[in-house]
Amino acid sequence: MSAVRYWVWLTSLRGVRSTALRLVLDHFGGPMEAYYAPRGAYQAVNGLLDRERRALENRDLTETERILDVCLRKGIHIIARQDAGYPQRLAQIYDAPPVLYVRGRLPFVDELPTVALVGTRSASAYGVKMGMQLGREVAAAGGCVVTGLALGIDGAAARGALLASGGCIGVLGSAIDVNYPSQNSALIEDVAATGAVVSEFPPGYPTLPENFPRRNRIISGLSLGVCIVEAPERSGALITANLALEQGRDLFAVPGNADNPGCLGSNRLLRECARAVTCGVDILEEYVGLFPGRIAPGRNRAPVGPAQPPAPGPERKPDRPDLPGEAFPADFEEERRKSDIDKPPGISYSDWESRLAGFSQDQRKILRVLTGGEKHVDEIISETGLPANQALAELTVLSIRGAVRPCPGKQYALNLE
């Protein structure tokens, strides 16, 4: 019997907690040793429940053979934690799944800038747009999108990645052979055809509510960073955010409307621990040094605001290709600079102070610092005295409002001339 059978046997036992599986593997050294352990040997494993010992003592392989047969017929790959193809990035987290079931082709995760994009199922139009935009931009710039394939934000992020013909890994909270939710069945099939759909639950495993919080640790575990696109105060996406922090992953969030209850959770993360981002490039810039030559941070950056018609005038050839389905001008920042040409060259101090009246105290600090010219984000943080997370959040808000504009190299310039 091949080694994979022992892994499937051990992990498919019903009523055995993941904690118990770790205890068994630590005690016996592997699933094969656990399977051939003498009767009564499980009594020596501290921490097991009586029902778990009874399940382990039952060496019936009927369910194991059924799972292996379904996987063979449906082209489902089984990757055990001891296998070379198991992502080491995932193996290092607490409670890493002993087995992954895979539809499609799981890429070499450890060699990729993987970014999780997650959020609420009850997404607003803005949230869906941002989820798709971020998924598209991350994939187009050389990253790989990891998401839960749920309704709302997760599905939008996966669609964006597919639009860019980029990498996407979908993590199911259901059995590997069940497309859940059914509304995303076609999307799940597309992700499996072009990337990978993974689950720790074997074919035939029941779809239970507790499965979905558990799958979140896999989403963050496969990723270098996790971005919460939109989430209310009570959201499964916030579970993923907490897991990301526990696993030492980077945490990002997209600013949302302050008066939208659906953004309260993601906005709270911005106040407490997450870095504000407005496009996929903002995320991937963190990993350029880890993946030299792979990430193209200056490509396919799109604005957060609604689509704008191009400025009148002679046709201008873009210096970078538009993506399929692109809803925004490819060179938004250049268009915005052009729109400033007809503005007066300067304003008086009194006019300047009146212009600042519509901004918060922290935002005014940043705007005053930028009156001296373009500055690096570290200079802005130093000269304003604001905490880094707060300064980044305010810069994002100011960018959205058009008061400042981001420049190459994490520089910012005033846009209130």
Rounded distance, CA 291 to CA 279, Å? 19
pLDDT in tens, 10-66: 999 988 888 899 999 999 999 999 999 998 899 999 999 999 999 999 888 999 999
Q: Which residue has the tokens 């080694």?
A: 3
Residues 279 and 348 in one domain: no
pLDDT in tens, 185-209: 999 999 999 999 999 999 999 988 8
Q: Residue 332: inside a domain, yes or no?
A: no
Residues 349 and 282 in one domain: no
Q: Is 200 exposed, middle or buried (0-12, 13-18, 19+ CB in 10 A)?
A: buried
Residues 69 and 114 in one domain: no
Residues 110 and 173 in one domain: yes
pLDDT of residue 347: 38
Instruction: Answer with the residue of higher pLDDT: 318 or 376.
Output: 376
Residues 215 and 130 in one domain: yes
Q: Residue 14: inside a domain, yes or no?
A: yes
Edge-first strand order for the sheet with 375-376 is 375-376, 411-414, 404-407
Residues 136 and 59 in one domain: no
pLDDT of 316 above 90: no
User: Quick one: which of 183, 254, 160, 198 has its CA closest to 79?
Assistant: 198
> Which of 245, 267, 287 is the endpoint of a domain?
287
pLDDT in tens, 387-398: 877 888 788 778
Residues 41 and 181 in one domain: no
DSSP 3-state of 250: strand
pLDDT in tens, 272-292: 999 999 999 999 999 998 998
Q: Residue 98: inside a domain, yes or no?
A: no
**What one-character-per-residue DSSP string does 218-242 give?**
HHHHT-SEEEE-S--SS-HHHHHHH
Instruction: Answer with the residue of higher pLDDT: 304 or 169.
Output: 169
CATH number for the domain that contains residue 405? 1.10.10.10
How far is it between the farthest Cα atoms of the chain?
88
Residue range of the domain that includes 216: 104-287
Over range 107-121, report the average pLDDT. Answer: 95
Instruction: Answer with the residue of higher pLDDT: 351 or 211.
Output: 211
pLDDT confidence bin for 345, thresholds 50/70/90: very low
Q: Residue 301: inside a domain, yes or no?
A: no
Q: Residue 388: inside a domain, yes or no?
A: yes
For the chain, give the percent of residues with pLDDT over 70.
84
CB 236 within 8 A of CB 112: no
CATH number for the domain that contains residue 168? 3.40.50.450
pLDDT confidence bin for 7, thresholds 50/70/90: very high
Does the CA dihedral 165-171-177-183 come out positive or negative?
negative
The domain tally of the chain equals: 3
Residues 70 and 194 in one domain: no
Over range 119-123, report the average pLDDT. Answer: 93
Residues 64 and 124 in one domain: no
Over range 123-144, report the average pLDDT. Answer: 94
pLDDT of residue 297: 56
Q: Residue 315: inside a domain, yes or no?
A: no
Q: Residue 223: inside a domain, yes or no?
A: yes
Hey, what amino acid is at 394? E
Residues 140 and 232 in one domain: yes
CA terminus-to-terminus distance, the chain = 74
Residues 137 and 269 in one domain: yes
Mean pLDDT of the chain: 83
pLDDT of 216 above 50: yes
Residues 145 and 256 in one domain: yes
pLDDT of residue 405: 81
Q: Residue 97: inside a domain, yes or no?
A: no
